[in-house]
Amino acid sequence: MQFADDVLATLAPDDLGRVRRWIEDRFINAICPLVIHLNREMPWMLSPDRTLQEAQRAVERVLAAVEEIRRIDGEACV
């Protein structure tokens, strides 16, 4: 994500805040139905089911991206 970090570092704090809010809104809303579905599945179902495993990894990647932009925005505000 070096390119993304470089581009985000050039944004003004207000613009970076708008990017963070946009990413949070779009990404979190996009994965909420999947998260709800995964939370309803029994934990023992996740290990043998490759589709559920991949879905869980996708959720983790999206949440990591949201946390990264939050971190970058937080550093810009300091």
Encoding tokens for residue 1?
A: 């994500």
Report percent pLDDT > 70 for the chain.
78
User: Which helix H or strand E contains 40, and what residues bound it?
Assistant: helix 13-40
How many other C-beta atoms are found inside a 10 Å radius of the C-beta of residue 20? 21
Predicted confidence (pLDDT) at residue 32 exceeds the cutoff of 80? yes
pLDDT band at 37 (very low <50, low <70, confident <90, very high): confident
| Rounded average pLDDT over 19-38 | 85
Measured between alpha carbons, how far is 5 from 69 in angstroms, rounded to an integer? 9
8-12, 34-38, 44-48: least confident range: 44-48
- Residue closest to 71 by CA, chosen among 15, 29, 9: 9
